């Protein structure tokens, strides 16, 4: 969802910078990109392990509180400011119009998924949505994709997953799904995306012809 359906990553980075600054950790936008695709609590642990904060005003402010503050701020920003990624709604509609089950499998909480679904106006194009926070493990573990396939009543091997992050791609790939990677421009050539069946610079490049190719070939990139 984040960075694939909705242009939410800038909002996550903005809130990370704002909230981390309250404990004396000042990150650049480029530094925030290092944790793209990680669950937000993992982002907090990631930065504490590398640049632990010791600001006296941060005493008593736990990791979960920081993660919750970031998430709440992102909810507000996305509800009023977020826009769909180029080609995202069109790609979703392509599958919906053919009567294929469609779902969101996100590392974000259900509350944020609901905000995005309403902001983009895509309820009618989705069969369901599922959060990794309801599973035992978040991405890059396969749990959310396996759970989503189970809820759809389909085999993982019969699913096609779209992902913009390396952790998300690992999750879908480990679940045994065919995958389309749509990385951000800053990491388009990163080798971590090589496991995808297809790598696209944008969902505007997705087409019915490409979908047909995915169904008839072992690998396309």
Beta bridge pairs of residue 91 = none
What is the spatial distance between Cα 219 and Cα 221, in angstroms, rounded to a whole number? 7
**What pTM does this model have?**
0.81
Task: Print the SS3 string covering 49-90.
Answer: HHCCCCCHHHCCCCHHHHHHHHHHHHHHHHHHHCCECCCHHH
- pLDDT tens column, 31-86: 999 998 888 999 999 999 999 987 555 555 789 999 999 999 999 999 999 899 99
Domains of the chain by residue range: 9-81, 88-216
The CATH class for the domain spanning 9-81 reads: mainly alpha
What is the spatial distance between Cα 70 and Cα 28, in angstroms, rounded to a whole number? 16
What's the CATH number for 88-216? 3.40.50.1000
- pLDDT tens column, 96-140: 999 999 999 999 999 999 999 999 999 999 999 999 999 999 999
CA 114 vs CA 22, 85, 121, 128: distances in Å: 28, 17, 10, 11
């Amino acid at each position: 969802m984040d960075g694939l359906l909705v242009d939410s990553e800038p909002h996550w980075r903005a809130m990370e910078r704002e909230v981390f600054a309250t404990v004396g950790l000042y990150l650049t936008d480029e530094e925030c990109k290092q944790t793209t695709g990680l669950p937000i609590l993992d982002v907090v642990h990631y930065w504490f392990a590398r640049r632990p904060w010791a600001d006296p005003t941060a005493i008593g402010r736990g990791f979960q509180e920081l993660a919750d503050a970031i998430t709440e701020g992102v909810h507000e920003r996305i509800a009023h400011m977020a826009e769909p990624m180029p080609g995202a709604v069109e790609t979703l509609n392509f599958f919906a119009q053919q009567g294929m089950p469609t779902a969101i499998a996100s590392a974000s909480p259900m509350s944020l998924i609901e905000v995005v679904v309403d902001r983009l106006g895509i309820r009618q194009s989705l069969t369901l949505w599922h959060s990794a926070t309801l599973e035992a493990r978040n991405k890059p573990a396969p749990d959310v994709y396996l759970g989503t396939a189970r809820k759809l009543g389909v085999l993982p091997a019969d699913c096609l997953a779209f992902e913009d992050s390396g952790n998300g791609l690992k999750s879908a790939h480990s679940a045994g799904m065919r995958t389309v990677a749509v990385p951000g421009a800053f990491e388009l050539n990163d080798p971590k995306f090589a496991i995808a069946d297809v790598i696209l610079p944008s969902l505007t490049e997705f087409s019915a012809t490409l979908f047909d190719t995915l169904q008839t070939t072992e690998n396309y990139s």
